[in-house]
Amino acid sequence: MDKVKKLAKMIDHSILHPALTDDDLRRECEVAMKYDVASVCVKPYAVKKAAEILKGSEVKVGCVIGFPHGNSKTAVKVFEAEQACKDGAVEIDMVINIGKALGGDWEYVENEITEITRVCHSNNAIVKVIFETDYVTKTEDKIRLCEICTRAGSDFVKTSTGFGFVKQPDGMYNYRGATVEDVKLMRKYSGSGVQVKCAGGVRTLDDLLKMKAAGATRSGATATATILEEAKKRYGED
């Protein structure tokens, strides 16, 4: 497999902005097919349509659960995950209950992650657990989450949603998203069977390569075309 192909298979092409229409979904699924990425990551209602568009391709359908803030009850997240699988999703990106993690209710957090992992695996889907590192900022909390995901048998730990907006000193809201430091930490403290996905702020080829070197095997991206066209130029591949 050439370098560009390998990089493409690291990318989950994100189609998650709240204002995207069905026409936008089709266009972005076509981008995903053009570059033969690992998967698309879509909103729950869009799973069926994405599966129809991508039928016959090697691009998998992924779906977000409890997105972007993780505040739904566990039973709702479980239902949402199961329904997404029935609609054709084979990869599930779930957001943890951030408030419970920040409040130290680790029993709740672990039970929820374990339950959603179970329902995903019973439906032949993998699960990626989103920490939202713009909110969960303490190293010890991130380590605890890595340990929980390892015990739960989750397939991936994931940095961010790309929607973890925090009020900045100038009064505007923005997010940091994935960092090399967080990816390294998550790789270090997760079990060998757990992979690391970065998301949020990966917009260039160099961004992707830095995350890969830090231990990420998947990356969320909206700038898929920009990243892979740059890879083609750099590596001289068509």
Give catalytic residues, as residue numbers: 93, 158, 197
> Are 79 and 106 contacting, i.e. CB atoms less than 8 angstroms apart?
no
- Sign (positive/negative) of CA torsion 69, 73, 75, 80? negative
Tell me the C-alpha distance between 93 and 80, whole Å: 11
Q: Which helix (H) or strand (E) holds 102?
A: helix 98-102
Instruction: Spell 178-210 as b/e; 16+ CB within 10 A means b.
Output: bbeebbbbbbebbeeebbbbbbbbbeebebbeb
Q: Quick one: DSSP state of residue 193?
A: T
> Are 84 and 121 contacting, i.e. CB atoms less than 8 angstroms apart?
no
Which residues pair with residue 196 across a beta bridge? 157
Other CB atoms within 10 Å distance of the CB of residue 169: 5
